Structure 1
C-alpha cells in the first residue's frame, strides 16, 4: 500500500518537477548571459575610462608642447611640423583628426601674424633708414660747402673727421635698409677694382690700419660697384674690430681664370668651428632674412653681406684661417661682374670726333669710389642724384689714397687757399683790363 502511494505521488509530481528543472536551467542560462554582458560592459567602461584619460593627457600635451613648438617653428621660419600625438593609440581616430584641424588653424593664424609683423617691421625700418640716409647726405653736402668756404687747417681737419663719421653712419643705414628689402641707394658707373676697395676702406673707423697690396687692372661693373663697396667695408670693419689695435689688416688680390678675389687677412681672434659654420650660413644668402627673427644682438654685417652676395651674384667666404691665426675673408667676383681695363687707344682718340658717329659707350670714366663716397646732392625725395660730370677712360687720374693724410688738413687748407687766391687774382686782372 505504501509503495502504491509513493508511485502515485511521483506520477502526480513528475510534470511539475520537470518544469521546475526546465525553469531553473533557463534562469541559469539567462544569469550566465547577464554576467557575460556585465563583464563586457565593465571592459568597455574600463576602455572608455582609459581612452578618456589618454585624451586628457593628449590635450595637455597639445597645449603645453605641440602648439608652442608649432609657434616657435613658424616664427623661426621652419616647416610647419608640430610632431606626432603623444599616444599612438589615438592615431587615426576622430579625436586625432580634430586635433590636427586645431593645429592647422593655429598654424595659419600664427603664420599670418608673423607675416604682418614682418611687413610692419620692414616698412618701419625702411622709412627710418630712408629718412636717416637723406639727413646724412644733407650733412655731407653741408660739410662739403663748409670745406669750400674755409681754408683753416684745423677747421678742415675737424670737417674731415665729421665727414668720415657720416660715411660710417651712411654705411650702417644702408646695411639695415638692405635687410628690410631696400635698394643700396647709389648708382655708379664702371669703377676700377682698386678704387672700389679703397672706397670700402674709407667707410670704416680704423682705416689707417688697412694695407692694400697690388694694383688690379679690372673694372667692376656699374650694377655691383656699390654692393661690393659695402661688402668690403663690412668685412674690413669686422676684421679691424676683432683684432688688436696695433695690428694691420692686409688686403690683396688673387687673379683666377674665372674671376678675381679680394682677400682680407686679419690677425684677430679667429672663429670657432660653430661660429664659422654659422657665418657661412649667413653669408650664403640662401635663408630669408626676417627682421622679427634677428638674434640679440643681431649680426647685421654678415646678414647684409649675404643679402648683397645673393642679390648681385658674387660670393663671400670666411671658411679659411689667415696666416696670423685670424680670419681670411674672400670676396670672389666672377668675370661676368668685371669689365676690362680701358685700352691705351682710348686716350689717343680725337677730342672732336665726327658728328655723324655716336660716341662709344666706354668713352667715359666715372669718379673714383672714394670721390663718390661723400657729398652727394640730394633730391626732394631724399635719394642721391647722379652727377653729370664724367671723366674719359683714357685720361690718367691719380688714384685716391687708401687712407687720408695725417697732416691734420694742412694740405687741404693750402689747396683751398691757393684756389681762392687764384680766383681772386683772375678777378682783379679782369677788372683792370
Structure 2
C-alpha cells in the first residue's frame, strides 16, 4: 500500500511537467510562426519596392508586359488576400493610374506642340514656294534660274516633312487638288525627294486619282521613294512600276539596297499598317516619322502599303502601295481612255492623211484642224480679221534662259554617299 502511494506521488509531478512542456512547445511554435509571418511581410515589402513597382514603371513606359496583370504577382501567395496584400495592390493601382494620367498629359502636350509648330511653319513654307514660283515664271536669267531651282526643290522637301508631322498628329495633309492622272501623282512624289534623278517612272498610265486622295497618295509615294533612295547606293536606280489588278492599282517601288532583317521588316510592317496609335512620347531617339506617316495616311484614306524582300527586282526591298478602285476617278471629258485605245486611235488617224470630223472641216492625223482656203467673195473679205503682229525679236530669250537654267540644275555635280539610317 505504501509503495502504491509513493508511485502515485511520483506520477503527479511528471504530469505537470508534460503539460508545461506542451505549453512551451506551442509557444515556441507560435513564436516561430509569427517570425515567419514577419519575414514574409518584409520579403513582400522588398519585392514590392524592388520588383513590382519597377516592372510597373517599365511596362507603362514601354508598352510591354502582361496586360492581364500589369502590376505583377505577389511573392507569397498566402498574402494576396490579406490586408497587407490588398494594401500593396492598392498602391500599385494608384501608381499605375498616376503614370497613365501623366502619360496622357505628356502625349497631349507633345501633340499640341507639334501641331502648333507645323501650323505656323506650313503657311510660311507655302509662301516661300509661291515666291520662288513667281520668280521662276518671271526671271529670264539662266544663272538666276539655276540658283532658284534648288531652292524650290528644298522648299518642296521641307513642306513634305511638315505635312508628314501634321499627319502623324491627326491633321489633314493640308492641300486639296483636282483629279489628276495617277502617273502625275507619282511624279509629284518624285519631285519632293532629294535623289529624284535616280527614280525611273513609266511614261504612260491611263488612270486618274480622285481629288480627295491625290495629296495622300503623293505624300505616301514620296516617303517610300525617299526611304528607298536613302537606303541604296547613290548610283543605283529606284524603279516605279504599275500593276493593273482587278480590285485596284498597285504602285511598286523597287530599290537596290541591302534589304532588311526580319525584325526590322516586321517593325516597318507594323508601322505601315496604321493599326497602332502613334505616341510621340514613345518614339525612339532620333525619332523616325516616314513609315508612321504613311501608315496614318493608309488608315485614314483606305489604301494599303506592304514591304517584301523576295519580289524586289534588284534584290533590295519592294514597297507596294495598293490603291483601290474606290480612290480612282473617271478620266475627264475628251480623254481617249486607256493607253492602248489612245495609241490605236493615233495610229488609225495617222494612217489617213486627212479626214472629216462632222463639223464641216478636215483634220490631220494628229488632230489639228485643216482649214480650207479662204473664200474670195466680198462677204468673206469683210469678215477677215486683221492679221496678228509678229512677235518681238527677243521673245524666245525667256524660254531659252529657263531651259538652260533647268538643264544646269538637272546636271548632278556630285553624288552623296548612301546613309545607313534605320527605316523611316
- The normalised TM-score by structure 1 is 0.73
2:47 alignment counterpart: 61
Question: Is 1:203 matched with 2:157?
Answer: no
Q: Within 5 A, what are the aligned runs for 1:14-413?
A: 28-78=14-64, 79=67, 81-213=70-202, 215-321=204-310, 322-344=312-334, 407-409=404-406
Which range is displaced more, 97-106 or 70-79? 70-79
- Residue 217 of structure 1 deviates from its aligned partner by 1.7
User: 3-state DSSP class of the match of 2:331?
Assistant: coil
Partners of 2:293 and 2:217 lie apart in 1 by: 11
User: How far apart are the structure 1 equivalents of 2:240 and 2:327?
Assistant: 20
Cα distance change of structure 1 residues 262 and 346 upon mapping to structure 2, 3 Å threshold: closer
Q: Is the 8 A contact 1:67 1:103 kept in 2?
A: yes
Classify the secondary structure of the residue corresponding to 1:408: helix
**In 2, are the aligned partners of 1:217 and 1:340 still within 8 Å (CA)?**
no
Question: SS at 1:129's partner residue?
Answer: helix
Contact 2:146 2:408 in 1 (8 A): no
Per-residue CA deviation, residues 159-192 of structure 1 (Å, 9 max, x unaligned), is 1110110010111111122222222111222221
| Deviation of the 1:31 alpha carbon | 3.5
Deviation, 1:99, is 1.4
Alpha carbons of structure 1 residues 307 and 410: separation in structure 2 relative to 1, 3 Å: closer
Q: For structure 1, which runs of at least 5 residues remain unmatched after alignment?
A: 1-6, 348-404, 413-433
Return the alpha-carbon distance in structure 2 between the equivalents of residues 342 and 165 of structure 1. 33
Q: Is the 8 A contact 2:273 2:295 kept in 1?
A: yes
User: Quick one: structure 1 residues 120 and 97, their matched pair in 2 at CA, closer, same or farther if it must change by over 3 Å?
Assistant: same
1:375 corresponds in structure 2 to none
| Pairwise CA distance, 1:49 | 1.6
Displacement of 1:92 in angstroms is 2.9
Instruction: Map 1:411-422 onto structure 2 (within 5 A).
Output: none
Alpha-carbon shift at residue 346 of structure 1 (Å): 9.7
Who wins on radius of gyration, i.e. which is larger?
1
Residue in structure 1 matched with residue 360 of structure 2 by the alignment: none
> Residues 344, 139 of structure 1: CA spacing in aligned structure 2 closer, same or farther, 3 A cutoff?
closer
For 1:149 and 1:218, the matched residues in 2 are separated by 34
* Cα distance in 2 for residues equivalent to 1:289 and 1:26: 84
**Partner SS, residue 409 of structure 1:** helix
**Residues in 2 aligned to 1:34 and 1:158: alpha-carbon distance in whole angstroms:** 107
CA deviation after TM superposition for structure 1 residue 216, in Å: 2.3
Q: Which has the higher contact order (CA 8 A, sep 6+)?
A: 1
TM-score (norm 2): 0.75
CA distance in 1, matches of 2:24, 2:73: 36
Alpha carbon RMSD of aligned pairs, Å? Answer: 2.6
Where 1:344 maps in the other structure, the secondary structure is coil
Structure 1 runs (4+) deviating above 6 angstroms are 20-24
Partners of 1:204 and 1:236 within 8 A in 2: yes
Q: 1:345 to 1:128 in 2, by over 3 A?
A: closer
Give, in angstroms, the shift of residue 232 of structure 1. Answer: 0.3
Of residues 71-80 and 286-295 in structure 1, the stretch that sits farther from structure 2 once superposed is 71-80
**Matched residues in 2 for 1:320 and 1:116: separation?**
40
